[in-house]
Structure 1
Amino acid sequence: MEPQTGLKEKFFIVIRGKSRKGFCRGCIGRVEAETQRGEVMGLLYCGNNAGSPKSGGIVRREDTYPLTRHQAQLLLFVSPASKRLELLCNPQLFSAICELTQDDLVVVKHKKGHMPGLVRNLMLIGRKENKEDLHMLGFEVEFVDYDHNLSSKKPAPLPLFSAADIIQVVPSHSVPLGLHWKDGKCESLNRKAVTRINSMPNIGSHARQARESHTEQSVIQSQSSSTCHVPLEVGSMVEVVSNSGITVYGVVRWLGVPGGKTDEWAGIELDYDVNGCSDGVYGSQRYFTCKGNRALFVPVTKCSPDSRFVCSSTGREAPKPTDTPSVTPFEDSEEDAPPVPESDAVSLLVGRMKGIQGHINSCYLDATLFSLFSSSMTLDNICQKPADTEQPITCTLRRIVNRLRRQGFVPAKSVMNFREQLGCDTFRTEEKDPEEFITVLFQKVLCMEPLLKLKSRNETSQGAYTFQVFLEKEQVGPMPTVQQLLDTSCLSGDLKFEEMPSCLMVQMPRFGNKYKMFSHIIPSTELDITDLLYNSPRECFICGHSAAHECLQCLSDRKLQPGRIKQYCAMCNTQVHTHPSRQGHSPKALAVAENEASDTPVQRHTMQLFAVLCIQTSHYVSFVKYGPDPRSWLFFDSMADRCGDDQRGYNIPEIRACPELGDFLSQPEEELARANPSQTPELVCRLLCDSYMFLYQNPAKPLSVPNHQVS
């Protein structure tokens, strides 16, 4: 293992993996050498001792994310380390923060709420006593008062913020330098003279010059906006420059003339909370309903199309509602794209216009395809390069999967072609259930045998692609786990798996959006199906020796850990059922291998959760685990937003990083059982309340396609 030295200065952040030789998640290091085994040897920076490195450590290269010196300095000032990873989960914002220069407008988190301000200085923090030391970087920000002037109070030390405190960077082309809007007119902003405290290079100065050149055109266009106004409609995505010079973004939810006004106004639901906004009420009248602090009412002349989705063209013309934002042309490669690796998932997938674009009741299909093919290694080889005799629909599916994995976005047109080829009118225009689509996908498109082989009580065998949970509500607690639901359903129906499945999709006891048996269901990140395998060795629930009997009535016994399968050796079976409350039970004899020693340890067979399909008001979304790190979760909605109306508009898909789900699921099962869903983060609560189907994989046994399907 000879290190490869002679490297240029490189920095990194550890994004996953357990602590190993000095490194842990969220810590920042500098590369000293790389080994031929794919490991990085480097110095570790703490961030709480002026950027002085601790002793070196070793970490796998695949567990790191590369950083520039500037990025490393910014992240080093962020504390705790977990916040660094949260910031990296928003690559657009972090990229903009890295380019901030003097006098740029930002919105920061402050004890008074979200506050707009101007970046005054980029501060070096800490001493650099040795060449290995690394300064931390922070931002001095001067708040902008809401009377449209900078604070006129006596000079005081400016507050210092880290990169994680900045929640928005205002695009300079949407905020004319030195100008702000007041009553539809453009006026000067009373700026104070500024000098840098530290002698710092003007980071991003070249980009700054380009943006300021672009700004001059924006000022001219803004001044003429009152005479050349773009028509708006309910559902339009817009941006508004506030009187303090901050750009906010949202969707028009109402248009009309409010009480006391004479011109047309717009009611806008903003992307995030803003102090002083309402929940859809203006004056004493409610015009629409949304979350609190998100409803903004302004004259329509203050609104303009959301510049983040404006197509690039001469003169910056606003797009028509029927125009989907331009995307990079996709060229189908000769090679099939592998699942998106954990290290690339956030940068490739997170954001708006990411994932699969929804269209005409397609959310059931969009959410299912994204769950199955974006990151699952088990499903890696079921969409191989097709042979010349391959049916066209499989070629279409392959192009969708490759485009998702390479580009991070699949336009609605591609999916509509796939729906047309499915051959059924209901697939083209109507919303189906995911289990219907999954059966057609594996059986008709991929030509695969049933994923599950189930043995019933009369020894007959049946195949299935998904497993539907059937049970009585009283058999489990009010907030069961998936493990409890699967165990109880199998025992109640006297079903066993003939063999260990590669993929197990468990459908919850609910019927679309019309009925659900349980208000909340706790995900089991690991599903143990050892006791559900036909004629498989099993151990006694009491003593651990080889089991000879199984009892369905003991399943819900509160004195015997309810919800767990109960099987016993001959002696424990007799003792347990001498209890008066269990004398009426009817234990069932199990088949035991003759050569099986009673004290031989039983090998456990487990499967890992990799995706969850959820439904709310007939709309399907999905949660997908994109890597082994417990916090590597994504939330996908193919119709998170919309531009234009139902006839002429298009849907805007969105993918959000959801590390809070991993934090929640990492708690012990006892803590999860006591959790109050209403007090959990928004997306966690959504999963607990709306789960429809849980998808599990066996990484040791990947799925394979029939031989005639692979070239």
Structure 2
Amino acid sequence: MQDLMGTIMDKSTPDPVEEAETAFQAVDLGSTVQVGEPPRYGVVKWLGMFPGGSELMAGIELDEYWPKDCGDGSFEGHSYFSCGHGHGYFHPLKNVQPDQRFLTIDPVPAITRGNSIPAENPLQAPLEELEEQHTIPPTQVYVGEKRGIQGHYNSCYLDSTLFGLFALSDVFDSMFLAPDKDAPASRQEFKDLLAKKIINPLRKNGVVRFESVMELRRMIEDLGKMEGVQEKEKDPEELLNLLFKNILHIPPFIQIRRSFGVEDEFFIQLFISFDQTLRLPTIKELTRKMFDEGKLSLTKAPSQLLVQVPRYGRGFKTCQRIVPDLKFDISEFTEAYISADVPGCMICGERSSWKCSQCKHDFMTSESDVYFCEVCSRKAHTRKERRDHTVNRAVTVPMAELDLLSVICIETSHYVCFTRDLDTNTWLFFDSMANRLYDKYNIPRVTDCTAALNEWVYSGDLTQLLSAQPRELPELVRRFTQDVYMCVYVQSKPKSTDNSSYNEEFVDVAWEF
């Protein structure tokens, strides 16, 4: 028993081949696993035996809420680990299996076979190098089984990021198209690989095989001088920082002014204090909270924006659900906007974003305009008698509106991507490891999830989403709102109409003033 426990609790990192040979047997703390049939998935948080017990047990934090058989990590009055109620599950270790969805290791990993191509790879898409740049295809090109980017050996972080940036938008094509006369040959080689073996084939065929991505991972590891890129799990923020800064030498997207000076950044990483009143915040509301708390501002409005959402470990999230804004006016976070002297919100006293002259009678003020923050303006104009009000910006700074392109999500250790066709407003869900074949090869899948997201998230009425229990949500809606990791915003297409005011019907949660 002592030898067995020693094997289970050993934290040493095996080499890739040894790990591949034992992957189906080894379960350790932090492993993503599955139990039962149909399988339920989760993360191992505790290993051991109960007092008086005779077999090894695993304490698992399940992904999904399961109140019938789950608690909070306690058993018979003793706490073995901590998690949300309805997620803590104890199961005999001998019946716990590694999560077959994410087990991307075959008995002889492809990375140890040089450039050999396994003939039995179920994706028969050609391994081609396309010189011709392909335009963004219709969404139908991507939809279906064996579509998207094939995952392999913990690659979901890279697969999801590439699909989210390039599948339905050419905004980030400058990463490999922009001229760089003084670039070393290795940098141009990397750009050529990214464009000709991944982006162009993806847009032409709707699918890319794992061999091309493994070639890219090898080059990222070599050029970025980061160990483990070929076999270990990373995260998209870590990957993109490496690509933008160390490999491609792209200028930072944003400049954030802090109390000690200006910092160049590629991301806005949301660090905010815990607030239990944040039941269903938007990305913009969370960004505003951080900027207000930290007294931050942007030196100018960027043309693209990557927002990393607060998340601390697998178990704790600052917000249980988040709604990514379809439109994000970033001008409200610039120095020019923040430094303007405007009255506080009539309702909550926070900084105002909008003003309405037609509300002055309802709020019994002699002022010519009633000022609101964005949240209170939305709530105030929910009432039918105010829905036809014309609401103007509180500060006369030109809008810099960004469109939501993609949302990268993480559940336990697995990354997936939702991305949007900005012309048709079609949403696609991409999972590079949706299925497996021969216990060797991952089968990617792309699903059209437009109807579900429009009904639950973007219908204009969030009452249904607010009141629903996790088990009541459609699977993709739950993942979209509860597992948000990063949101990608890009510059909106120019419009000829004046965008300094709006006259929308605010049909939101039934808040009234």
1:288 CA drift (Å): 9.1
- Relative distance call for 1:680 and 1:561 in structure 2 (3 A) is farther
1:521 corresponds in structure 2 to 322
- Relative distance call for 1:331 and 1:431 in structure 2 (3 A) is closer
1:412 corresponds in structure 2 to 210
Does the 8 Å CA contact 1:479/1:520 hold for their aligned counterparts? yes
Answer yes or no: is 1:624 the counterpart of 2:426: no
Q: Counterpart of 2:175 in 1: which secondary structure?
A: coil
Q: Counterpart of 1:379 in 2: which secondary structure?
A: helix
1:440 CA drift (Å): 1.3
2:302 corresponds in structure 1 to 501
Instruction: Map 1:1-12 onto structure 2 (within 5 A).
Output: none
2:280 to 458, 465, 479: 479
Instruction: Map 1:391-430 onto structure 2 (within 5 A).
Output: 391-399=188-196, 400-423=198-221, 424-430=226-232
Answer yes or no: is 1:668 the counterpart of 2:460: yes
Matched residue type, 1:654: R
Contiguous gaps of at least 5 residues in structure 1: 1-234, 236-251, 255-286, 290-319, 539-546, 577-597, 702-711
2:124 to 323, 327, 344: 327
1:683 corresponds in structure 2 to 476
Matched residue type, 1:398: A
Q: Counterpart of 1:521 in 2: which secondary structure?
A: coil
492-501 or 632-641: which moved more? Answer: 492-501
Does the 8 Å CA contact 1:531/1:565 hold for their aligned counterparts? no
Given the two structures, how large is their TM-score scaled by the length of structure 1?
0.44
1:452 CA drift (Å): 1.3
2:263 to 462, 469, 477: 462
2:432 corresponds in structure 1 to 638
- Relative distance call for 1:455 and 1:550 in structure 2 (3 A) is farther
Matched residue type, 1:477: L
Does the 8 Å CA contact 2:142/2:446 hold for their aligned counterparts? yes
Answer yes or no: is 1:364 the counterpart of 2:165: no
Does the 8 Å CA contact 1:512/1:615 hold for their aligned counterparts? no
1:639 CA drift (Å): 0.4
1:373 corresponds in structure 2 to 166
Given the two structures, how large is their TM-score scaled by the length of structure 2?
0.60
Answer yes or no: is 1:615 the counterpart of 2:417: no
Whole-angstrom distance in 2 between the partners of 1:321 and 1:568 = 60
Does the 8 Å CA contact 1:612/1:622 hold for their aligned counterparts? yes
Answer yes or no: is 1:491 the counterpart of 2:277: no
Task: Indicate the RMSD between aligned Cα atoms, in angstroms.
Answer: 3.6
Whole-angstrom distance in 2 between the partners of 1:599 and 1:618 = 43
Whole-angstrom distance in 2 between the partners of 1:508 and 1:599 = 27
Q: Counterpart of 2:325 in 1: which secondary structure?
A: coil
Answer yes or no: is 1:336 the counterpart of 2:133: yes
1:114 corresponds in structure 2 to none
Number of aligned residues: 343
1:529 CA drift (Å): 2.1
2:237 corresponds in structure 1 to 435
1:515 CA drift (Å): 2.8
Q: Counterpart of 1:383 in 2: which secondary structure?
A: helix
Whole-angstrom distance in 2 between the partners of 1:509 and 1:560 = 27
Whole-angstrom distance in 1 between the partners of 2:161 and 2:271 = 22
Matched residue type, 2:446: I
Matched residue type, 2:303: S
Matched residue type, 2:220: L
Whole-angstrom distance in 1 between the partners of 2:153 and 2:403 = 33
Residue deviations 1:285-317 (CA, integer Å, cap 9, x gap): xx999xxxxxxxxxxxxxxxxxxxxxxxxxxxx
Matched residue type, 2:430: F
Matched residue type, 1:359: H
Structure number with greater Rg is 1
Matched residue type, 1:566: S
- Relative distance call for 1:600 and 1:483 in structure 2 (3 A) is closer
- Relative distance call for 1:445 and 1:473 in structure 2 (3 A) is same
Residue deviations 1:465-503 (CA, integer Å, cap 9, x gap): 111111112275222111110110111111111111121
Does the 8 Å CA contact 2:123/2:146 hold for their aligned counterparts? no
- Relative distance call for 1:422 and 1:601 in structure 2 (3 A) is closer
Answer yes or no: is 1:560 the counterpart of 2:347: yes
Q: Counterpart of 2:336 in 1: which secondary structure?
A: coil
Whole-angstrom distance in 2 between the partners of 1:466 and 1:537 = 20
Does the 8 Å CA contact 2:435/2:443 hold for their aligned counterparts? yes
Does the 8 Å CA contact 2:403/2:489 hold for their aligned counterparts? yes
1:350 CA drift (Å): 0.8
